[in-house]
Amino acid sequence: MAAPAPSKNSRKALGRLSLPERTFVADALRAETVGGVLLLVAAIAALVWANTLSGSYESVSDFHIGPSALGLDLSIEHWAADGLLAVFFFVAGIELKRELVAGDLRDPKAAVLPVVAALCGMAVPALVYFLVNITGGGSLDGWAVPTATDIAFALAVLAVIGTSLPSSLRAFLLTLAVVDDLFAILIIAIFFTSDINFAALAGAVVGLGVFWLLLRKGVRGWYIYVPLALVIWGLMYNSGIHATIAGVAMGLMLRCTRRDGEEHSPGEHIEHLVRPFSAGLAVPLFALFSAGVAVSGSALTDVFTKPETLGVVLGLVVGKAVGIFGGTWLTARFTRASLSDELAWPDVFAVASLAGIGFTVSLLIGELAFTEDPLLTDEIKAAVLMGSLIAAVLSSVLLKLRNAKYRAVCADEERDDDLDGIPDIYEEDKPEYHLRMAEIYEKKAAEHRRLAEVTGGASDGSSRPA
């Protein structure tokens, strides 16, 4: 009996990307991968420095610099967390804006899967932390620590283990991280803001209004925007709201849609300029001055015995994997979307495990959550490092098991037999492609016929008697 025709309403979850989106994702992830490797190097350097020359590490981290009259006499560690990470969140704001107006998130049907997966991937780790600390009598202040995903560190792991993850899964991971960053920003703004200086906040809002107005008027010149951005950042910091919010707000104001005659939108252009600074300098320096925790046998044991640190580890390793996988499966189930033919559910679980690498934002939230307890702050940092390491190892094993399949999928995605610069998989429904391929095959067939005649003629000549 003939197989039933596919339903008109059937959809593919994690299906093939459009060519423009695939190109954008490839470029974005390439930069993030380089930044992730630098982030990994910085984290290792911080651990080595803190455990061999702890006195000098603490001296440099605690060294204060900045104008005290402006309320900006901060330690080096503080400048890295509040200043340099504002650049990271500025880029995150641009990414989010682009996804909302020009990327996958602009289509509600396409946005449902990564948004639900990201929300579940934040809610379940928080729930795991909550349950562990309710049971163990620990502090609930760190519930948000295991909710974040570090896309740069995750891509660094992919680069190190050399897996050929298909573009659809890479895009899924990137979109997850963008949504993750959005809700991490909201968590920081809502739950980690204490006393508010309304005068400074009003000044920051006015500055953002001027920033927006200049953008609307098409005013150009870094010498205008950079000083204005610094003023907005300083006012936001003094308002009591975490200063990284200023970076996000400015990133969201940039236009990320292209107009006639534009090769790139202003947002894309500025992101292209700022991303190397963010990924190559800002985030690695933050890691250098945040990841330096003393590692000893007793410290590692404490990670698995204290409820706060155990909650972070289990939240990252178990909560992230279960939350993202469960959210993806439930979304596909209730929207009646079938998984792409190229993928299997174990692939989704492997990527969900990879998202358990929560480094940059997790470290930041850990510092904010336990400001009054430096010892517990260091223990939470150690738990973030341990949880991220376990998640990295687990996901590496799972991804390696499927790497042969991934290589075949990537080879299909990259194949360009007609040599026109566009992968064949995007042209298979175009008559011009098939005409070009027919011409190529005809040339190859003619060449084979010529070689056959030459070979046949040589054989006839050699068989004649001397």
Distances in Å between the Cα of 293 and the Cα atoms of 53, 59, 233, 296, 385 are 11, 14, 29, 10, 10
* Other C-beta atoms lying within 10 Å of the C-beta of residue 334: 10
Task: Work out the widest C-alpha separation in the chain, in whole angstroms.
Answer: 109
Average pLDDT over residues 61-72: 89
Q: What is the pLDDT of residues 267-290, one digit of tens each?
A: 988 988 998 889 889 989 998 988
pLDDT of residue 464 exceeding 60, the answer is no
Average pLDDT over residues 373-387: 90
Whether the CB-CB separation of 36 and 155 falls below 8 Å is answered with: yes
Average pLDDT over residues 2-29: 59
* Helix axes 85-101 and 244-253, enclosed angle (nearest 10): 30
φ, ψ of residue 11 to 5 degrees: the values are -130, 160
Q: What is the pLDDT of residues 357-377, one digit of tens each?
A: 988 889 889 988 888 888 888
Tell me the Cα Rg of the chain: 26
Average pLDDT over residues 324-335: 90
Name the DSSP letter for residue 4: P
How many CA within 13 A on the CB side of residue 169? 32
pLDDT of residue 200 exceeding 90, the answer is yes
Lowest model confidence (mean pLDDT) among 68-82, 111-125, 163-177, 204-218: 163-177
Integer Cα distance of 210 and 378 in angstroms: 40
- Between the two ends of the chain, the Cα-to-Cα distance in Å is 65
Burial class of residue 57, CB neighbours in 10 A (0-12, 13-18, 19+): buried
pLDDT band with cut points at 50, 70 and 90 for residue 466: very low
pLDDT of residue 353 exceeding 60, the answer is yes
Residue with tokens 């891509």: 155
pLDDT band with cut points at 50, 70 and 90 for residue 6: very low
Name the DSSP letter for residue 83: I
Integer Cα distance of 269 and 267 in angstroms: 5
pLDDT value at residue 465: 54
pLDDT of residue 420 exceeding 80, the answer is no
Selected residue with higher pLDDT from 165 and 236: 236
Average pLDDT over residues 221-250: 92
Going by C-alpha positions, the residue among 119, 380, 91 that lies closest to residue 244 is 91
Q: What is the mean pLDDT of the chain?
A: 84
Most confident of the ranges 7-16, 152-161, 325-334, 433-442: 325-334
Selected residue with higher pLDDT from 215 and 337: 215
Q: What is the pLDDT of residues 68-122, one digit of tens each?
A: 888 888 899 889 988 998 998 899 889 888 888 877 677 777 778 888 999 999 9
Q: 219 CB contacts (<8 Å, ≥6 apart)?
A: none
Integer Cα distance of 459 and 453 in angstroms: 10
Structure tokens at 138: 């620990």
- Residue 339 pairs with which residues in a beta bridge? 13
Integer Cα distance of 435 and 14 in angstroms: 31
Average pLDDT over residues 168-177: 82
Burial class of residue 410, CB neighbours in 10 A (0-12, 13-18, 19+): middle
pTM listed for this prediction: 0.80
Selected residue with higher pLDDT from 390 and 420: 390
Going by C-alpha positions, the residue among 191, 201, 30, 23 that lies closest to residue 103 is 23
Integer Cα distance of 341 and 13 in angstroms: 9
pLDDT of residue 457 exceeding 90, the answer is no
φ, ψ of residue 114 to 5 degrees: the values are -65, -30
AA identity, residue 307: P
Distances in Å between the Cα of 19 and the Cα atoms of 209, 282, 357, 413 are 36, 31, 29, 10
pLDDT value at residue 82: 87
pLDDT of residue 3 exceeding 60, the answer is no
Going by C-alpha positions, the residue among 278, 334, 293, 345 that lies closest to residue 85 is 278
Give the 3-state secondary structure of residue 220.
coil
How many percent of the chain have pLDDT more than 70?
90
Q: 207 CB contacts (<8 Å, ≥6 apart)?
A: 228, 231, 232, 235
